[in-house]
């Protein structure tokens, strides 16, 4: 099993390297053509991330060898975290220290909508093969929300079937923020909350305020988060 996992990681690594070399070759070709007036193609975000990751590896004098596969993925994460561009209502912290980038927390304090004024904490557990797998994200704050269940599971499409390696941590955080400004009753985890939002938005707003203030909604108690 371990050998199969290693082989899979190595194949992914080789695929990434081949893609990068093709990109570099194309860039050289375009640069040469540019001297004759041909336009130079702008790099895509995915290509830029590849270059930045490899530049960091080069700075640390790491050879392009299977022994640095996991380091290669880790550098992708370092690039993404170093380039976070979050709204003022979101913050990232590292409870285990900044040396542990694989596990961190994000707090979101919506500045509009039903959840205005609340503070909601999410834990991120990043896969060793990020960005080929989405991080595991859970809400640590008990919240009355159609897209977050009482165990903290989050219904966000980019954490499931719509995840692609070109997406990043910044994209996920904005997606989580969007859940609070525009909760979606059509794709629920908390079906009761979704039904109230759909059928009676005023009651839903009242339930949210009661839950955030520290109180019961039905038979469920929600700790204060404002």
Give per-residue pLDDT as tens, 45-91.
655 665 566 565 555 544 445 445 556 667 778 888 988 999 899 99
155 tagged catalytic: yes
Catalytic residue, chosen from 90, 139, 155, 225, is 155
Task: Please state the rounded mean pLDDT for residues 137-165.
Answer: 96
Going from the N-terminus, what domains does the chain have, and what CATH number goes with each?
87-219 (3.10.110.10)
Looking at residue 21, what is its pLDDT?
45
Model confidence pLDDT, tens digit, residues 99-134:
889 999 999 999 999 999 999 999 999 988 888 899
Per-residue pLDDT, 225: 97
Structure confidence by residue, pLDDT tens digits, 170-184: 999 999 999 999 999
Predicted TM-score (pTM) of the model is 0.72
DSSP class per residue in the chain? -HHHHHHHHHHHHHHHHHHHHHHHHHHHHHHHHHTTTPPPPPPPHHHHHHHHHHHHHHHTT--SSGGGHHHHHHHHHHHHHHT----TTEEEE-TT-TT-TTEEEEEE--SSSTTTT--EEEEEE--TTTTSSPPEEEE-S---BTTB-TT-BB--GGGTTT--TT--HHHHHHHHHHHHHS--TTS-SSHHHHHHHHH-HHHHHHHHHHHHTSEEETTEEE----
**What is the reported pLDDT for 72?**
63
């Amino acid at each position: 099993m371990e050998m199969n996992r290693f082989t899979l990681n190595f194949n992914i690594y080789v695929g990434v390297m081949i893609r990068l070399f093709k990109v570099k070759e194309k860039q050289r070709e375009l640069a040469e053509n540019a001297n004759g007036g041909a336009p130079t193609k702008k790099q895509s975000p995915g290509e830029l991330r590849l270059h930045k990751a490899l530049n960091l590896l080069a700075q640390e004098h790491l050879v392009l060898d299977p022994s640095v596969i996991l380091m290669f993925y880790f550098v992708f994460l370092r690039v993404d975290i170093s380039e976070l561009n979050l709204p003022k209502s979101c913050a990232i912290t590292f409870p285990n220290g900044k040396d542990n980038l694989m596990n961190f927390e994000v707090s979101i304090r919506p500045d509009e909508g039903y959840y205005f004024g609340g503070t909601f904490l999410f834990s991120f557990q990043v896969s060793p093969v990020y960005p080929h797998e989405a991080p595991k994200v859970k809400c640590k704050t008990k919240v009355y929300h159609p897209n977050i269940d009482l165990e903290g599971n989050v219904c966000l499409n980019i954490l499931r079937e719509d995840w692609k390696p070109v997406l990043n941590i910044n994209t996920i955080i904005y997606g989580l923020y969007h859940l609070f400004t525009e909760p979606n009753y059509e794709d629920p985890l908390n079906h009761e909350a979704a039904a109230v939002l759909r059928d009676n938005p005023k009651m839903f707003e009242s339930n949210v305020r009661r839950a955030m203030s520290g109180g019961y909604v039905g038979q469920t108690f929600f700790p204060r988060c404002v």
